[in-house]
Structure 1
Amino acid sequence: MISEKLQINSFKNSCRVIGVVALCFMLVFTSCSKFTYEKKDDGIEFQVNGQTKRVLFYNDNLVRVSLVKAGVSFKDSSLVLIKKETFSDFNIKEDRQKLVLNTPALSLSINKTNGVITFRNSDKQIYLSESETYLPQIADTLIDQSTYYHIKQSFQISDDEALYGLGQFQNGYMNYRNKDLLLIQANKTALVPVLVSTKKYGILWDNYSASNFHDGEDGMSFRSEVADQIDYFFIGAKTMDGVVAGYRTLTGKAPLFAKKAYGFWQSKERYTSFDELSDVVARYRENKLPIDNIVQDWRYWGDNHYWSSMYFKGKEYSNPEKNIEKLHNQHVDFMVSIWPVLGDSSKIFKEMAAKGLLYNQDHWCGGKVYDAYSEAGRGIYWKHIQNGLAEKGVDAYWMDGTEPEFSDTNDPRNTERELLKVGKTVAGPIAKYLNTYALVTTDGVYSQHREYTDEKRVFILTRSSWAGQQRNAAVTWSGDISASYDTFKKQISAGLNFCITGVPYWTHDIGSFFPTSAGGMYPGGINDPAYQELYVRWFQFGAFTPIFRSHGTGTPREVWQFKDRNPEFYNALRKSLNLRYQLYPYVYSNAWQITANDYTLMRALVMDFPDDKDVYNVPDQYMFGESFLVKPVTIPMYYDLPQMPKSVPAENLFTADGKQGLKVSYFKGENLEKLIYEGVDKEINHNWGGGGLPPGVPENHFSVRWEGFLKPIVTGEYTLTFSSDDGCRVWLNNELVINDWSIHATTTFKYKVNLKAGEKYPIKIDYFQGENDAIARLGWQTPTSEKTDDERSKTVSVYLPESNGWYDFWTNKFYSGKQTISGEYPIDIFPLFVKAGSIVPMTTVQQYADEDPNAPFEIRIYSGNDASFTYYEDEGNNYNYETGEYNTISFDWKEHERRLMIGASEGNFHGFKKAKKLKVVLIDPEASIQVIKEYDYTGDAAVVVF
């Protein structure tokens, strides 16, 4: 790649060689005057700098820009693009310096000298320009004897705009100005290569390989490792919602999920039988805790040799039709985990292998990943899903590990290394298609499920993503995250940047996947009050995300599990759960807007307040629909953060004769054969690899015994830990609680136990060292201490964007916009505000979606501005809505007239009833007074006057 400046210098040097300055001038003039282009029905092509550039219109505001080396043909195939029709309503104007292409919405100015395109709106205001300083780079690279390109496209953007999107990155950033991002899939990184600007434009970078996004003093750019051509789409709009609509026009609409999908999902790693699944649901019903979905994670198929066989196996999962019907009779839908990796004893593995549709690269479970780029492979995959799951009554598919995972995808570069070992797919080299596996495998399941039945809407949960995946009814979750307040807070910006790309459905493991291990800060799990507090706050966030789902390992987290452990926190969970169900009409109607009008439910503040620059860098607040402003509480208020296990101090250890510490005896041999030394250890915290053994003790093949008493000073649950390199046994209170008498790498063993302050507990520890490292460390996690009254600050600050005002949802207190306020938020509430000029439909708390399809509901009017809302209802779990079988009712509030206009019912569907009991509630900003009017709605247009 040669920059424009380098090209000019090279040109001047050529002129000097010729020796005629006038000739230089003549050549420059000739170069400009000879600029030619070919007009096509939907755009133009022209030559520039030894390259061919094409501008292609797909709509009046959707433009595709492609660049290849001169003489090379363009390739129009795209896994992402579904829009085939192009757009011809444009005109061309030309002068000596530029070519201008105009549509009703856009104006593109093309520099004749270097081919640089400047994008403007219909008012000729600049959206964006390709860089004049850093021209496109396109360099050859050879893969499997075929030529591809390394590519880079740079842009010049304005100083005052902010950039969002690109998918889910758990880095805590909201605005990606002056940031660099590696665009490779990973566990916890889910890509959607769409960039959205506060200038109301978007860029879809249509390349699947390992890529980079960069923004800095040298401009903004995308770079990709493997490409057929430079290829990107420009989307110009008047709003950021318009950018999303343009993206979905190009890549596909988002279907509507079953109504139950917008309720609560209970999951864990893992339930172990149909009986356990049914019992969990029964406990929800007994406690009158709403639930709509229950999830079966892995191993229902048997051992690893049958990994993701798609068939239930073993007595715990016998008679699946009958047991799934039992769950349905408990009014829950049932989702199961499936993977792209297949165990070697399964029928699906053998069928794939016979057709050569398995990658050679091994998966950590011992199976093989199927080639989802193959139509035949996708067909076999679905055939076994249909036979083993769909026909048994399974309602939803959890497609795990879709990066795809082979050994470990926590690091993007490791994902890349493992994937490159695959070599080729049916579509071509995996290096070219690196990031798109989730897109093609979810497409196979969605499209074939649609052919199988239209009586059950598709729901897919997947750990990876790509542009276009919204059309496959796919929800992405944030991966195997670990419990901490920092991780929790980073979920917010991760989800917002994901959804602003145009892929609207995102979720997360409430309470994290790993609370007790792998970086999780709560080894006590649900028994630790500090974790209970984190879980409640995270649950409140979950109630205001598109899909409301609890999942994880290491500790129980069903809502009823909190009832006896912490009644106050249990009631807080119940309050948020009930609120989600009260808001069902609001959530489901907004879901319809996603499908019908390309809406976004979980909204970065810039989507609604793009002119308020104070929201540009807010990472932990968002809008939930048009009305609610949400700020999750991401700091602890009740309990100290837990400390990671530390050495048990000397003041808690005593010998038999009352000395601080434990009696220690060293032996020659690995089984305490020959006593060499006796003494007292005040702490057991040894790493003898660097020396420090008592005299006479050999460096290898020795053993140690510690004996004495453990005396805690705080009553509560402790996690006793012993870290060792090689064998260890721990007795506490004369019970063997840790036992691994083997040679192993350094491992930390854990034992949870309730201890009373001041009581002495007999403790004995044996350890042996084989060879190499010699580590022995006794530690503990002490009970979490409750914060003192002085430490219990429950104050949280919230920024209220510029608007007609805001109401505190809990108190109805009114606040003006464009200010930061502070308030106290005890465990059962969190900052939740409603924008003045909102209509919010709410219903009674139901135990599952449509427990009472005609339950009375209220219309809350938060006055202060005109407002409107469209209420939506349908049959709930089929695709009849696609042929118009649904009903809507419009609600319009006229502020100055103080009247609510209720529209006539517009539509019909099986089971529809026009008559509804409404309670209209007016909340006034002057005094925050609620005025209530009961109204029997008959289906005809009506007016309610205040």
Structure 2
Amino acid sequence: MKIFKNIVLSMILLVPSICMQAVSSNQTKVNQTAVVRVGDARFTVITPRVIRMEWDSTKLFNDQASFLAVNRNLQVPQFTQSVKGGWLTIKTSEAELNYKVGSGRFTPKNIRVKFLKDNKSVIWKFGDVQKGNLKGTYRTLDGYNGSIHEHDNKPMPIEDGLLSTDGWTFIDDSKNYLFDNSDWPWVSERKNKAGQDFYFMAYGHNYKSALKDFTTFSGKVPLPPRYAFGYWWSRYWSYSDNELRNLISNFNTYNIPLDVLVVDMDWHYTEAGKGGWTGYTWNRRLFPDPDGFLKYLKQNKLQITLNLHPADGIANYEENFLAMAKWMGVNPDSTKLIPYEGSNKQFMSGWFNTILRPMEKKGIDFWWLDWQQKLNDGKFKDLSNTWWINYVVFSDMERNRETRPLLYHRWGGLGNHRYQIGFSGDSYISWASLDFQPYFNSTASNVLYGYWSHDIGGHMGANNIDPELYVRWLQFGALSPVLRTHSTKNSNLNKEPWAFSQKYLEVIRNTILERYQMAPYVYTMARKTYDEALSLCRPMYYDYPENKEAYENKNEYMFGDNLLVCPITSPMKNDKSTVKVWLPEGNDWYEWHTGTLLKGGQSIERTFNLDEYPVYVKAGSILPLYDKVKNLQNNNEPVTVTVFPGKQGSFEMYEDNGNDKDYATHYAKTLLSTEKAGHVLTVKIAARQGSYPDMPSNRNFKVKVLASAVPESVMVNGVLTDFTYDGNDLSLTVNVPETDCSKEKVLKITYPTDALEVTDGLQAQMRHVRAAVLQLKQKQAGIVLNEELGTMESAGGCITYYPNQFKQRIEAFRVNYANLPAVLQAHKLNQETIDWFINAVK
């Protein structure tokens, strides 16, 4: 996205349209310009739901971009204007504004807006206070255990967001700073600080449209590089080159994918006289050859970010101090410190050109801007240092890099959605913190700050790691915008997957792998964030605004268009986690980890083992997934088109170069669709549309049908084709022979007329039985399984070997499962063991 490069051009293009004459009395017409001016007041129709309202006694109305509103040159929506009885009326298809002409400053007596909410007329008057704001986000989780601050025991004061159940939002931009019209737009003051500059948004309960309308004038959410959606390894630890090489080697040994390496502040010297919280010189004791270290990371296809605390300026012991002193025109012999000045363009330009950019050229991909600055700038007293440095660093990347800008930083306030990924700070290690973060993610989407990166597993406040808590946190992290584990300097807080016992290592590894499998879906939804202002983690009320459950179930959220997540945020009881999930009506929902199809329109209690999670997929969904990938740098990986139980569905898979700046216009989409009619399931992979640099012409596709019976036949483009069936997973897989992406592929899968339905949780039952039998053997090593229990354990594997026995083996398993107490009693097990086994498999 190139928001700021074109600001000057946008201003020039806008000027001819802003000098419209006052509207004559009793005259109505359709305008071809967005601006209506009457005396000291000016109104700009931005969308049918959004109107800008300005009053300025000097008539020096502002046409520069503000920190909030960066787009001024906009398409003009259709509206009418008229003046009758001294009142100006501006009417769009969604709202009607009335203003008393010549009445001066906006007051409750001279301006109002009418609109519809729930098909009922609502009248807003200036000064009305919202009653149902759905909240936005907050700068940091520092000091908070859950939502409560550890030091004062007060709840987090989450800022108001852009959405409200009232159906309207009023934004005051009157005091906000502006961008000047220089080549690199910089902070400037308003000419008349006594004027009024407001935005009124009328949307009823159409929350999605409100968010998209906001981006019309406030700018889009940039699409991060594809690698940002992989796994980030991060730890506050004085790592050395050797330690990090060993870490990466272990990731390779355990075959765990990794995309981003985060190196905290100890990459530079930190002791007095050589460094501190602020530092820019590599610690040669830990990294004797920084260039060689960075080269090693690139050889392992890793992206790297380094932690920065810029507040203390550039000290004379830094390697590049002389270059910076020369840039600033100061005498290096008489200067010990060049202080940080965020609003000083010369200082910030020198910071980039003499300090940061030389390191970027060696291999630093993006920066982690940690919080250390004073709250506000020294020259502009209300200029947030956090807000401003986020803009400066991101816009510098836009101006000077060929790769896609990415920034990892603290939340600075409204408008910071334009600078992507947030660092939420040092969270407490507790179930309360885990329980709070799903809600925290969701409300952040209400200010378009949908890319929070949390310290998964918690940062501080405990002397050891509860493996169960960490697993549940990681499972939530895999269904969050960014998956980044982190912890403070405590030798007991090791989160390397191999630091855990085999039981937890397996779940941790599989959770990371599942995140990578979802990458094509996640990346497509990230593009939707750019196009439609819908974050990855969305509150339920976006899709179901009239359902009270959508507001009451605060932790439940949609992960993109197709997945509903109800996080597990409390400890297990009797080796089971229980959650109460609300499944909205309108479609059925497939419980992914158990293979259960559930009716929509109900609240239901469900239980899960440690390796299972409450992820619900809209029935009939067809989603692009990866099978196994090492990282997300490539764009030609094989794709498994995964079909979930249901009658029909479709999905447009999005692709682009992955790390270029031209994704706005250079991309491709492939339509995937599925429909079941009678006993025939048709799956289509349409010809790819669009193009982007280095786009591969061919791709290997698989089609995988979940909760599937064994079919009678499979045809691809009219040709009979082989298939494989996984009896343990109850899934059908077809390798698609045609690889040319420009050609359509049509699969027709024909099932027997008496095919069994296996969407009743059978997959989980079979998996639980296999796991319980293994544990039973460990409890009683000499046990000899009887026919019933033995064939239950081997049922899935037997079906894989002999697909023609599918119906026979499934029916036998179900009979034995229903009679499980008797089956176990036949082994002469004691009642305690029988009770344990039954609990384990339910």
In the superposition, the TM-score normalised over structure 1's length comes to 0.63
1:867 maps to 649
Q: Which of 87, 91, 99 matches 2:80?
A: 91
Counterpart CA distance in 2 for 1:172 and 1:267 is: 20
Note the 1:475-554 alignment, pairs <5 A.
475-514=421-460, 520=461, 522-523=462-463, 525-526=464-465, 531-554=466-489
Q: 1:532 to 1:247 in 2, by over 3 A?
A: same
Counterpart CA distance in 1 for 2:59 and 2:321 is: 41
Counterpart CA distance in 1 for 2:523 and 2:454 is: 19
Range that drifts further, 564-573 or 484-493:
564-573
Note the 1:793-808 alignment, pairs <5 A.
794-808=577-591
1:452 maps to 400
Cα deviation for residue 942 of structure 1 reads: 3.5
Q: Which of 322, 339, 345 matches 2:292?
A: 322
2:702 maps to 919
Cα deviation for residue 586 of structure 1 reads: 0.9
1:720 maps to none
Range that drifts further, 482-491 or 895-904:
895-904
Cα deviation for residue 283 of structure 1 reads: 1.3
Amino acid paired to 1:399 = L
Cα deviation for residue 577 of structure 1 reads: 0.7
Contact 1:265 1:550 in 2 (8 A): yes
Q: 1:356 to 1:324 in 2, by over 3 A?
A: closer
Counterpart CA distance in 1 for 2:557 and 2:613 is: 13
1:663 maps to none
Deviations 1:896-920 (A, max 9, x none): 6953342211233454333333232
Contact 2:625 2:641 in 1 (8 A): yes
2:21 maps to none
2:772 maps to none
Q: Which of 251, 257, 261 matches 1:284?
A: 251
Q: 1:793 to 1:932 in 2, by over 3 A?
A: closer
1:298 maps to 265
Say which SS state the counterpart of residue 318 (structure 1) adopts: coil
Note if 1:621 corresponds to 2:621.
no
Cα deviation for residue 548 of structure 1 reads: 0.8
Note if 1:466 corresponds to 2:466.
no
Say which SS state the counterpart of residue 892 (structure 1) adopts: strand
1:943 maps to 746
Contact 2:25 2:83 in 1 (8 A): no
Note if 1:437 corresponds to 2:385.
yes
1:246 maps to 213
Counterpart CA distance in 2 for 1:624 and 1:284 is: 27
Counterpart CA distance in 2 for 1:400 and 1:821 is: 42
Deviations 1:366-419 (A, max 9, x none): 988623223223312222344442011101210111xx544xxxxxxxx5xxx4
Q: 1:867 to 1:105 in 2, by over 3 A?
A: farther
Which has the greater radius of gyration? 1
The percent of aligned pairs where both chains have the same amino acid is 23
Cα deviation for residue 331 of structure 1 reads: 2.0
2:233 maps to 266
Say which SS state the counterpart of residue 737 (structure 2) adopts: strand
Contact 1:162 1:616 in 2 (8 A): no
Contact 1:64 1:232 in 2 (8 A): yes
Contact 1:298 1:338 in 2 (8 A): yes
Counterpart CA distance in 2 for 1:106 and 1:115 is: 17
Q: Which of 613, 630, 635 matches 1:830?
A: 613
Note the 1:733-812 alignment, pairs <5 A.
789=574, 792=575, 794-812=577-595
Note the 1:838-877 alignment, pairs <5 A.
838-850=621-633, 853-864=635-646, 866-877=648-659
Q: Which of 345, 355, 359 matches 1:389?
A: 359
2:90 maps to 101
Counterpart CA distance in 2 for 1:632 and 1:577 is: 16
Deviations 1:461-493 (A, max 9, x none): 102232232333x31122122111112211111
In the superposition, the TM-score normalised over structure 2's length comes to 0.70
Larger relative strand fraction: 1
Amino acid paired to 2:386 = A
Contact 1:189 1:464 in 2 (8 A): no
1:694 maps to none
Counterpart CA distance in 1 for 2:479 and 2:289 is: 37
Contact 2:390 2:416 in 1 (8 A): yes
Contact 1:864 1:924 in 2 (8 A): no
Q: Which of 121, 128, 131 matches 1:154?
A: 128
Amino acid paired to 2:671 = S
2:668 maps to 887
Q: Provide the aligned length of Structure 1 versus Structure 2.
A: 663
Say which SS state the counterpart of residue 702 (structure 2) adopts: strand
Q: 1:925 to 1:445 in 2, by over 3 A?
A: same
Contact 2:577 2:608 in 1 (8 A): yes
Amino acid paired to 2:451 = Y
Runs (5+) with no aligned partner, structure 1: 1-32, 132-152, 211-225, 359-365, 407-414, 515-519, 639-788
Counterpart CA distance in 2 for 1:866 and 1:198 is: 33
1:690 maps to none
1:377 maps to 347
2:68 maps to 80
Range that drifts further, 107-116 or 276-285:
107-116
Amino acid paired to 1:384 = T
Cα deviation for residue 332 of structure 1 reads: 1.3
Range that drifts further, 369-378 or 891-900:
891-900
Amino acid paired to 2:699 = K
Counterpart CA distance in 2 for 1:838 and 1:204 is: 38
Say which SS state the counterpart of residue 457 (structure 2) adopts: coil
Deviations 1:610-634 (A, max 9, x none): 2222111322111111111112211
Amino acid paired to 1:55 = F
Cα deviation for residue 532 of structure 1 reads: 1.9
Cα deviation for residue 357 of structure 1 reads: 12
Range that drifts further, 338-347 or 798-807:
338-347
Q: 1:931 to 1:463 in 2, by over 3 A?
A: same
Contact 2:141 2:425 in 1 (8 A): no
Say which SS state the counterpart of residue 834 (structure 1) adopts: strand
Q: 1:923 to 1:829 in 2, by over 3 A?
A: closer
1:760 maps to none
Counterpart CA distance in 2 for 1:76 and 1:556 is: 55
Runs (5+) with no aligned partner, structure 2: 1-23, 104-108, 178-191, 331-335, 711-728, 750-842
Q: 1:162 to 1:338 in 2, by over 3 A?
A: closer
Q: 1:855 to 1:76 in 2, by over 3 A?
A: closer
Counterpart CA distance in 1 for 2:221 and 2:210 is: 15
Q: 1:560 to 1:441 in 2, by over 3 A?
A: closer
Cα deviation for residue 95 of structure 1 reads: 4.0
Counterpart CA distance in 2 for 1:309 and 1:549 is: 24
Cα deviation for residue 267 of structure 1 reads: 0.5
Counterpart CA distance in 2 for 1:564 and 1:301 is: 27
Q: 1:119 to 1:326 in 2, by over 3 A?
A: farther
Counterpart CA distance in 2 for 1:848 and 1:88 is: 44
